[in-house]
Amino acid sequence: MSCNIVKNDSFTSDRLTYTGITDDDTSILVKWRSDVDVIRFFKNNEPITVQSHTVWFNDFYLPDDTRYDFIITEKITNSKIGTVSIKDIDYSDHSCEISYMIAENDFQRKGFASEAVIAMMKKMNVEGITTFRAEIHINNTASIKMIEKLGFLFKSQNGEFLQYIT
């Protein structure tokens, strides 16, 4: 089985629009992935460059049919505010990992991450995915509270990361 969504897919929720990342998003993704406040809780928390992003995008992301990344745009202001992603889709056990970031400070702590995770989970449920994993840095208390509120349960700890599952 394969996914019926495509890399340049788009969808919406109440306050947000989600569009598959493209090479046109390079500058904003590099900006976000180079902001130490944004990446401090990432597994790979080293800033990225345009060159490293371009290599990742072309050589790893585009050919990977188990990963889909979406830019989150807030509808009222039409501001790009972050990303929501799924990766490691496994149709044999109907699971994938979900990740998210609200990179723009003005949009943090307003429920946008929750809305994005719920929208992505609904989209993937249509694709037959029923189990979602999330890995969250032990010091990212806001994200831990949010993911638990969404019904994810603590599964295990791997170093500085807590693993949650639905």
Q: Are 83 and 70 in contact (CB under 8 A)?
A: yes
Mean pLDDT on 54-70: 96
State pLDDT tens for residues 116-134: 999 999 999 988 999 999 9
Say if residue 2's pLDDT is above 60: no
Say if residue 8's pLDDT is above 90: no
Mean pLDDT on 34-38: 90
Q: Are 100 and 85 in contact (CB under 8 A)?
A: yes
Domain ranges of the chain: 10-130
Mean pLDDT on 131-148: 97
131 closest CA partner among 102, 149, 155, 113: 155
Q: Are 4 and 127 in contact (CB under 8 A)?
A: yes
Q: Are 69 and 21 in contact (CB under 8 A)?
A: yes
Class of domain 10-130 (CATH, top level): alpha beta
- DSSP conformational letter for 104: S
Q: Is 53 in a helix, a strand, or coil?
A: helix
C-alpha span between 40 and 33 (Å, rounded):
10
pLDDT confidence band for 3 (50 / 70 / 90)? low
Mean pLDDT on 28-37: 94
71 closest CA partner among 90, 57, 58: 57
